[in-house]
Amino acid sequence: MDTWQHRYVQRFYRDRPGWIDGTEQFWRLCKAKIPAGGKILEIGAGPTNRTSRFLATIGEVHGIDPSAEVKENDALASATVLEGDQFPFEDATFDACVSDFVVEHVANPEAHLAEVRRVLKPGAPYLFRTPNRFHYVFLVAAATPHWFHKLVANPLRNLPNESHDPYPTVYRINSRGAVQRLARTAGFDLDTLELIEKEPSYGMAARPLFLAFMAYERLVNSTEALAPLRASMLCVLRRPV
């Protein structure tokens, strides 16, 4: 469908030399850090999605999620419904763990990272993409109740009416400082921590909103000094050998 949203994203982003979206950038990071043919645990895998299918091109993907929807994910070699904080896997089982927009929902990041470290093999990475809580979208989200998120989040992104409601967020591992501190406490080495700002996905409700958010994107990408205000973090933690 030829909508203004499609035309604007094409004109201002996809037609720019060298531009890739945030998902593609995260996938490239996964490809670079995960050993080919390795055993991968996708934490918060959910139902069938593009990231699960991409990971399945790298290795054998096992999914875990608090929701039974994970059983519907056709990219997984196995699907487990998570109950509590402890993962039902032996120590040093996986060659990599991956979470894509999941850790912002984790209420106990210390327990989460301890379990991730336990199930990773020595030297293996934990890769995750998550919002930066100092971005304007997530500052508003952190300061407003969940009913407000359900009311506005999907319309602002111009998502179909049948789209899943946003999940509750807590943002307890969603800043540079929090990632560095929690990784150190859990016994991880910090491999990669990059902040990125891409197309204004929350500006799809109206053209003026899109253009205002695009101006913000151009500003925070103009200098590394403004990187702490970008939308998302790409992180790689590594269990020491």
Least confident range of 36-45, 92-101, 104-113, 134-143: 134-143
Contact 40, 62 (CB under 8 A): yes
Top pLDDT among 70 and 163 is at 70
- Please state, as a whole number, how many other Cβ atoms lie within 10 Å of the Cβ of residue 236: 21
> pLDDT-based confidence at 82, cuts 50/70/90?
very high
Structure tokens at 99: 């979470």
d(Cα 121, Cα 221) in Å, to the nearest integer? 36
Q: Give me the helices (H) in the chain, please.
A: 4-9, 22-33, 50-55, 109-119, 136-143, 146-156, 176-186, 207-220
Query: pLDDT tens digits for 198-207?
Result: 999 999 999 9
Report pLDDT for 153: 65
d(Cα 38, Cα 139) in Å, to the nearest integer? 37
Report pLDDT for 156: 66
Least confident range of 82-86, 118-122, 170-174, 193-197: 82-86
Using the structure block, give the residue that is written with the tokens 């899109």: 210
Average pLDDT over residues 224-235: 97
Least confident range of 51-55, 143-147, 214-218: 143-147
Report pLDDT for 152: 67
Contact 156, 134 (CB under 8 A): no
> pLDDT-based confidence at 85, cuts 50/70/90?
confident
Total domain count for the chain?
1
Give the domain CATH number at 154. Answer: 3.40.50.150
> pLDDT-based confidence at 81, cuts 50/70/90?
very high
How much of the chain exceeds pLDDT 70, in percent? 93
Mean pLDDT (the chain, rounded): 93
Residues of the domain holding 143: 4-238
d(Cα 195, Cα 185) in Å, to the nearest integer? 22
This prediction's pTM: 0.92
